[in-house]
Amino acid sequence: MTDIAIFDYGAGNIFSLKNALERQGASVRIQTKVEDLRGYDGIFLPGVGNFDPAVRSINGCGGNGSSSSSSSDNNNNNNNSSNSSSPVDFLRVVGTTPVFGICLGMEMFFEKSQEGKEKGLGVIRGDIVVLPDTLKIPHMGWNALEIRRENRILEGIDDGSWVYFVHSYRASPADQDVIVAESDYDIKVPAIVQRDNFFGTQFHPEKSGAVGALMLGNFLRECSK
Amino acid sequence: MRARFQSRRQSNLLTKRVIPCLDVDNGRVVKGLHFESITDAGDPVELASKYSRDGADELVFLDITASQEKRGTTRELVSDVAKVIDIPFTVGGGVGSVDDARDILLSGADKVGVNTGAVNNPALLTELMGIFGKQCVVVAIDAKRNHSEDSTKTMFEEDGKKFWFEVFIYGGRRSTGLDAIRWAKEAAALGAGEILLTSIDRDGTGDGYDVLLTQKTVDAVSVPVIASGGCGRPEDMCEIFQRSDVDAALAASIFHYEDRSVNWVKEILRDRGIPVRL
C-alpha cells in the first residue's frame, strides 16, 4: 500500500483530498510538522489557506508571532514548543520523494506570490500573480485541460478533459517547459506544472470527478516506484 | 425582457454548472413549496452519491433542521456525504459564527453557505474570508418580490407591476426590509466568494427561475452567482442560462423525483448550445 502524508497548514478542508486518496487505495496520514513528513512514499501540499501562513508553516515557524491576525488563530498546529529548535528544511526532508501540490500547494513551489511577502520554496522559477480584474475572480468552475506535453500523471486522460478550478492567482513560470497543461480563462492559466519530483495542479483533482481520480491514481503509482 | 443581456466579466470558457440541492431535515432529504409543506425525498448519502456519479458539477446541502440541538447529527451526515462524492460540496444552514463554519469545513465540506447569520452580522463574512479564503464563503440570499412602492429601494416593473426584491431570513419566515440586490453587492464586497440566490416566489413551483432577479444580481456583483428556485423542467434551466449570464443553476425536485439523471438534463442544455461538462 502506498503511504501518503498530507501536510496540514491549518486552514480549511483537507478531508476531500484524504477521502479521494483513500478511494484510490492509499494509506493516508495527516501531518502538521515538517519533520514528521519523513518516510512516506509521497507528500501532498493541499490547496487551502493563504500564501504567507502556509509558507511559514512549511518553514517550521507557522503560527508564531509573525503570523497575520486573520489566519493565526486557525494556524495552531505549529505553535508548540518544538518550534523553538531551528526549523527543519522542507526540501531536505522531502529529498526525491514525489510531492503533489494542489492550488496553493502548487503556488508554494514558486519563488514568490503577489498574495504575500514570504518567499516560496523556489523549486520552480517564476512568480504567482493575481488574475486580471477584468475577469470574474475567483476563477471558479469546470474548465478544460489543454495538454502541452506528455506526462506520467496524465496517463489515460484526454486533451479537453474537465477539471474543477477555484483560485484567484495563477503561476507565471520563468521557464515554459514546466507547463504540462493549461486552461483558457481568457488568459492562459497553467493548470499542471512539473519539475523533477514536484507535481502541481492549479485545479483540485480531489474535486474533479473521474478525471481527478485518474490523476491521483497516476501519482500514487509514481510514488510506489 | 427578450433583449439579449450584455455579457460582462464572463468567460464563455467555463462550463455552466448544474447543482443538485439536498434540503435536509433531521437527516432526511425533504422538499417544500414556497419554503413550506415538507415531504420526504430520501436518504442524503444515497442521493449525493448518485448525483456525483451522474454528472453533478457540485452539490449543495442545506440543513433546514429547526432545532439547534439536532444539528450535531447533520455534521456526521456531512462527513458521510463527503466520503462518497468527488465534486465540490457546499453546506449551509444555521451558520452564525466562525466556529459553525469551521465545524462544517472540518466535517468535509468545501464551502460554507451563510444566510441569516450574515444578515444579522455582516462582519462575519469578512472574518470567514480572512480565515478560510473567500472561495469558501457562499452567501445564500432568499429574495421575494415586494409590491409596495418604496423610493429607497431599486424598483422594477414587469407585466405592469412594480416591485422590489426583499431579503428574507430564517428560512423565508422573516422579512428584513433589505434590498436583495444591494445586499448581494455588499456581501460580495465584504467577503463572499459566491452568491446563492433563491427566489422565494418561484421556489417549489416549477414555474421557472426568476430571470429578472437573477440577471440584476449578476450585473451587480463580480463573483459567481447560482440561480435557485423554480426549476421544474430542464427547459427552465435552459431558460436561465440563455436569458441571463448566471454561472450556475441549482435544482432539487427535478433530480429527486424524476427518474432522470443530471447528465440527461445536461445533454438537453448542450443540445441548446449551453456549455456544460459532459
Q: What tens digit of pLDDT does each residue of A57-114 get? A: 888 765 433 333 333 334 344 443 344 344 568 999 999 999 999 999 999 999 999 9
Which has the minimum average pLDDT: A112-126, A145-159, B13-27, B28-42? B28-42
Name the residue facing A136 among B107, B134, B223 (closest C-beta): B223
Q: What is the pLDDT of residue B37?
A: 56
Q: What is the pLDDT of residue A83?
A: 41
The β-bridge partners of A184 are A188
Q: Pairing mode, if any, of strands A42-45 and A3-7?
A: parallel
- Across all residues in chain B, what is the average pLDDT? 88
Confidence of residue A48 (pLDDT cuts 50, 70, 90): confident
**B131·A212 Cβ contact <8 A:** no
Residue of chain A nearest B222, judged by CA positions: A136
C-alpha distance across the termini of chain B, in Å: 30
- Rounded to an integer, the average pLDDT of A175-184 is 97
**Residues in chain B, total:** 278
**A206·B13 Cβ contact <8 A:** no
Which of these, B199, B134, B108, B72, lies nearest to B124 by C-alpha position? B134
B222 at interface of A, judged by CB pairs closer than 8 A: yes
Confidence of residue B72 (pLDDT cuts 50, 70, 90): low
For the cut 90, the answer to whether the pLDDT of residue B112 exceeds it is yes
B275 at interface of A, judged by CB pairs closer than 8 A: no
**A70·B130 Cβ contact <8 A:** yes
Cα–Cα distances (Å) from B270 to A52, B15, B150, B242, in that order, read 42, 10, 41, 12
**A136·B10 Cβ contact <8 A:** yes
Which of these, B60, B2, B82, B68, lies nearest to B198 by C-alpha position? B60
Domain with A192, as residue range(s), is: 3-223
Confidence of residue A136 (pLDDT cuts 50, 70, 90): confident
d(CA A193, CA A179): 5
- Rounded to an integer, the average pLDDT of B148-161 is 92
All structural domains of chain B, each given as residue ranges with its CATH number in brackets, are: 17-271 (3.20.20.70)
C-alpha distance across the termini of chain A, in Å: 12
Which has the minimum average pLDDT: A36-40, A73-77, A183-187? A73-77
Please give, rounded to a whole number of angstroms, the shortest distance from the CA of B162 to a CA of chain A: 31
Q: What is the pLDDT of residue B67?
A: 59
What cell was used for B4?
439579449
- Rounded to an integer, the average pLDDT of B218-244 is 95
Q: How many CB atoms lie within 10 A of CB A1?
A: 9
Find out whether B92 and B62 touch, Cβ atoms under 8 Å: yes
Summarize pLDDT for B47-65 with one digit per residue, the tens: 999 999 999 999 999 988 7
B194 at interface of A, judged by CB pairs closer than 8 A: yes
Residue of chain B nearest A50, judged by CA positions: B133
Whole-angstrom Cα Rg for chain A:
16
* Residue B253: its H or E element: helix B253-256
Highest mean pLDDT among A81-90, A136-145, B25-34: A136-145
A87 at interface of B, judged by CB pairs closer than 8 A: no
**A12·B57 Cβ contact <8 A:** no
**B14·A142 Cβ contact <8 A:** yes
> Which of A15, A73, A76, A135 to probe the B interface (max B CBs under 10 A)?
A15
A-proximal residues of B, 74-113, CB under 8 Å:
79, 82-83, 86-89, 102, 105-110
DSSP A119: B
The CATH code of the domain that includes A30 is 3.40.50.880
Please give, rounded to a whole number of angstroms, the shortest distance from the CA of A190 to a CA of chain B: 15
A202 at interface of B, judged by CB pairs closer than 8 A: no
**A207·B110 Cβ contact <8 A:** yes
B15 at interface of A, judged by CB pairs closer than 8 A: yes
- As for how many domains chain A has, the answer is 1
